[in-house]
Amino acid sequence: MSAQKDERRSDGKNERRPAGELEAAVMAALWAAHTPLTPAQVQAELASGLARTTVTTILTRLCDKGTLQRQRQGRAYAYRPVQDPHGLTAVRMLSELDRGNDRETVLARFVAQLSPDDEQLLRRLLEGSP
């Protein structure tokens, strides 16, 4: 069975799911497990009809991105997230910041788009207040 066929929606439509959607589902399963999982275990948690090879490909890609770590567990690898969901979001935000060549402008525009409540929260965090 091809990966393309495996990634079709379970409702019978011939639409491919975006890679980000599959990665998010895999990450959610790993975070919920609170323990490293093998591809077969992730596949069972997803209960989405994805082939194990597709799940393995997603896990390998996430590992290559530094989002997951893997360790030998018998003949397979078991995968675990490097960060909790909040930590991963923070890493992604920093990664986006690093892509630009003018950090000051990017940060200024980010802060300008914050709600007043978020701006106050950011000020408290920068000041070290609880």
Write out pLDDT tens, residues 45-90: 998 888 999 999 999 999 999 999 999 999 989 999 999 999 989 9
Q: Do 12 and 37 belong to one domain?
A: yes
Please count the structural domains in the chain. 2
Contact of 58 with 7, CB cutoff 8 Å: no
Under 8 Å CB-to-CB from 100, ≥6 apart: which residues? 106
Whole-number pLDDT of residue 15: 57
Contact of 81 with 73, CB cutoff 8 Å: no
Q: Do 75 and 89 belong to one domain?
A: no
Q: Do 43 and 25 belong to one domain?
A: yes
pTM of the model: 0.71
Distance CA 60, CA 70 (A): 9
CA atoms within 13 A on the CB side of 6: 17
Share of the chain above pLDDT 70, in %: 84
Q: Do 50 and 8 belong to one domain?
A: yes
The range of the structural domain enclosing residue 62 comes to: 3-81
Q: Do 65 and 7 belong to one domain?
A: yes
